[in-house]
Amino acid sequence: MSNIRLVAVDEDGTFLRDHLNYDRERFEAIFSRMQRLGVRFVVATGNQCYQVQELFPSHAHEMGIVSANGAHVLDGMQEVFAAQATPEAVEHMIQAIHEHPEVPFSMLGVAGAYVERSASQEFFDDMAQYCYRQYWVDDFADVDDQIFMFSSVVDESVVQQKIALFSNVVRGHMDVIGAGAGYFDVVCPGVSKATGLRYLLDRWNIRPEECVAFGDSDNDIAMLSMVGRSYAMQNAPQNVKDAAQFVAPPCTEDGVLQVLEQLL
């Protein structure tokens, strides 16, 4: 693939060695080369856009952000797209959460993320790593925001069971997708990192075949399947590797940066 015009990377388990940690000096050299070559850089993540902006403080204004699994898309600091779950879908999901209090959730919208006070401080703190604007609320039903996603984390031994449970509960209203390491998200129907990335491709007049993408989880598969050159991380499960064309070194070895140094 000689004509690369865009690079899209997932964060946790892909670009990052561990949460919030990457070789910033090495990335700066690669980013400078991308700018000289006219190659766009996009972070495509299940995390909140405000977290991405803090993680890349020097470049947030000049990169693309596909956050909340494609539900919130920014070109630099300008919002391009924000999904909106129907009032019926939100009501249905809140009812399901109250019926299954053993599964805590963070509810995400344009203005912030929200956790009910019935959840533990440990859960709030865990979610706060990915949602930098997160607030305690008494009841999700009282929140006035444009809601587009719910996120949870449970023990990995039961995550598939909980995904199946909520998939059955919200079928026809929202979609449930795994995010790896016990995390899973409930998203607006048809919304994915691929659909979010498509907004930026159309805006920048870039074709999917001119893109390179990296990922490690189920929520990356649609994006990996749409681009011209796709990499699953060595630490990714087999189904993600099967969806990609190539396997990159693991995130703990800066696999994304290794590949980009060879490609660019």
d(CA 264, CA 252): 21
Residues 108 and 85: beta-carbon distance below 8 Å: no
pTM > 0.85: yes or no: yes
Query: DSSP character for 18?
Result: B
d(CA 251, CA 203): 30
Which pLDDT score is estimated for 180? 86
pLDDT tens readout for residues 143-164:
999 999 999 999 999 999 999 9
Annotated active-site residue in 10, 185, 216, 218: 10
Report, as ranges of residue numbers, the positions in the chain whose pLDDT lies below 50: 1
Which pLDDT score is estimated for 2? 60
Backbone dihedral region for residue 205 (phi beyond 0: left; psi -120 to 50: alpha; all else: beta)? left
Which pLDDT score is estimated for 251? 97
Which pLDDT score is estimated for 1? 47
Range 6-82+191-263: architecture per CATH: 3-Layer(aba) Sandwich (3.40)
| Known catalytic residue at 10 | yes
Give me the half-sphere count of Cα atoms (radius 13 Å) on the Cβ side of residue 211: 25
Which pLDDT score is estimated for 172? 86
Domain ranges (residues) in the chain: 6-82+191-263, 87-187
pLDDT tens readout for residues 84-132:
999 999 999 999 999 999 999 999 999 999 999 999 999 999 999 999 9
Instruction: Classify domain 87-187 at the CATH class level.
Output: alpha beta
